[in-house]
């Protein structure tokens, strides 16, 4: 299993803070593609979002980062500051 976490506005947008999914993906990108099939909110938040922030096992990651069973994948909306 892979533990998937959704932070900040993604929690409200996607209706959940976390979930466990079968470890059937080898990259973050393939996981995102499957999640995007759930509907328009998922597609906008994860697939179409070019500023999506990703962490795998608490390390900064990108769409090409490899994942395996037991990993934690976290998605964060873009952060702005001032």
The per-residue pLDDT for range 55-66, each reduced to its tens digit, is: 999 999 999 999
Instruction: Using DSSP bridges, classify how beta strands 72-76 and 59-61 pair: parallel, antiparallel or unpaired.
Output: unpaired
Does CATH place domain 2-76 in 3.10.20.30? yes
Q: What is the pTM of this model?
A: 0.93
Q: Is there a contact between 11 and 77 (Cβ–Cβ < 8 Å)?
A: no
Q: What does the pLDDT read at residue 79?
A: 74
Report the 10 Å Cβ neighbour count for 13.
Answer: 15
pLDDT recorded at residue 80: 59
Query: Scanning the structure block, which residue is given the tokens 């390390």?
Result: 59
Secondary structure class of 72 (helix, strand, coil)? strand
Kindly report the average pLDDT of the chain as a whole number: 94
CB 4 within 8 A of CB 73: yes
């Amino acid at each position: 299993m892979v533990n998937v976490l959704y932070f900040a506005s993604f929690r409200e947008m996607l209706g959940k803070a976390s979930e466990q999914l079968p470890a059937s993906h080898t990259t973050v990108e393939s996981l995102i593609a499957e999640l995007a099939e759930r509907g328009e909110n998922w597609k906008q938040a994860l697939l179409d979002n070019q500023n999506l922030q990703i962490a795998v096992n608490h390390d900064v990651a990108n769409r090409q980062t490899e994942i395996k069973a037991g990993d934690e994948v976290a998605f964060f909306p873009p952060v702005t500051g001032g």
